[in-house]
Amino acid sequence: MLIYLRVLKESLAFAINALRNNKLRTLLSLLGVTIGIFSIIGVLAAVDSLKQEIKGSLSSLDNSTIIVMRFSFGPTDIPQWKREQFPDVSYEEYQYIKRNVPDVEAASFVLNVGAESIKYGDKLVTGVNIAPVTDGYYNIEALQLAEGRFFNESESNSGSNVLVLGEEIAEGLFGSLDPLGKQVRLYGQRFTIIGVLEKEGNSIFGPSKDGTVILPVNVVRRIYGSNNKSAFPQIIVKPKAGVDIPEFNAVLTQRLRQVRGLKPDEVNTFFINQLSGFTDLIDNITGTMSTIGGFIGLFSLLVGGFGIANIMFVSVKERTNLIGIQKALGAKNRFILLQFLFESIILAVIGGLIGLGLVWIITVILSQFTGSFEFILSTANALLGLSSSVIIGLIAGIVPAFMASRLDPVEAIRTGM
């Protein structure tokens, strides 16, 4: 055992010494592997960061959450011309679902409307995202309040002029003042502030709630009217925990068909969109991105491997005389083999470490410039990069190392003279 350890140690020492004596060649050999590892791990890190950000944005919503509207999240067999004729979901249908669909934990009627300006005294904040919802939205989104409260069912049904501010809006209008109980102007009307949301940070999945004002949907319904096509409506439903989701969807579909008076041979004029289906779609997209990026990086890594193999062949050729002398002095074939194999692996690992270092530096820099969006270099990706480097070094060096180990000592010395 000690003999093998000594062989390994001496082989490693020879390999390191050879790399030191040929610094320029070593540097050129590193470039290919560095670029390859940088490409693979860079793409994987970017995809992982994107996936984490999207799932973080959706973390407040349960995967069982259902969004009912006239559009589908995914592909559908219904032709576009027919889908365009589907009516929007209505407030009355939302009320019907609350009363007649069992096992509903929370439901909310939501309108998507344009941005507005909000004013307090002489301070004006423009481009404010308006979120008209019913009271059930608080439980569906699991909203966190920094202070105050959310509007209740009575205020929601009556369309009271109350609202909840996002942290960014509260800061822009009031600074260090307490906003609770203050009145602001929105839609040309006075609204009383009853709550402020906790800071959420930027989101790539829809607007951040920091720049959002949440108010009872019936206020906006009075302003826009019930049939205004610019106020795109949807019904969000959260089933109770432990409910059989396919059965729940079947009941929900049957109730909606009933309230719309659809005949058995008519298609649904609405879509039951499961949030879990959307997250699965995101996983598929990011998985495809990882695969494509991995293949691109793999080709770069193979080019780097060919570069290392080429350098190793040159190295064997240059050191033929030395190999002959070593073998004449009693060096075993395995010693020569390990010597060149270690040299190849060390080259690849150093290149891989440099590539990983570049990815880490870029993730740190980008995270500083993108606010709350955090680029991550996971341990799994780092280990993948290092293992890929070792494998490429092993593959690139095995043939030159084997050739060197099989050289005849007399012929090797004569060739080198």
Assign 408 a pLDDT band (cuts: 50, 70, 90).
confident
For residue 145, is pLDDT > 70?
yes
Question: For position 309, what pLDDT does the model report?
Answer: 80
CB-based burial label for 94 (10 Å; 0-12, 13-18, 19+):
buried
Indicate the range of 47-61, 124-138, 271-285 predicted with least confidence: 47-61
Select, from the ranges 75-84, 213-222, 305-314, the one with the highest average predicted confidence (pLDDT).
213-222
| Helix/strand/coil (H/E/C) assignment for every residue in 7-35 | HHHHHHHHHHHHHHHCHHHHHHHHHHHHH
Average pLDDT, the chain: 80
Question: For position 78, what pLDDT does the model report?
Answer: 82
Give the predicted TM-score (pTM) of the model: 0.62
Q: How far apart are CA 238 and CA 358, in angstroms?
A: 44
Q: Tokens at residue 19, please?
A: 């790399």
Question: For position 352, what pLDDT does the model report?
Answer: 83
Residue pLDDT, tens place only, 92-114: 999 999 999 998 888 999 998 88
Q: How far apart are CA 239 and CA 103, in angstroms?
A: 6
Residue pLDDT, tens place only, 291-305: 776 777 677 777 777
For residue 161, is pLDDT > 80?
yes
Indicate the range of 194-198, 368-372, 378-382, 405-409 predicted with least confidence: 368-372
The crossing angle, in degrees rounded to 10, of helices 217-224 and 91-100 is 150
Question: For position 277, what pLDDT does the model report?
Answer: 58
Q: How far apart are CA 41 and CA 39, in angstroms?
A: 6
Q: Between these two residues, 132 and 48, which has the higher pLDDT value?
A: 132
Rounded mean pLDDT, 110-122? 89
Of 183, 187, 146, nearest to 166 by C-alpha is: 146
Question: For position 61, what pLDDT does the model report?
Answer: 54
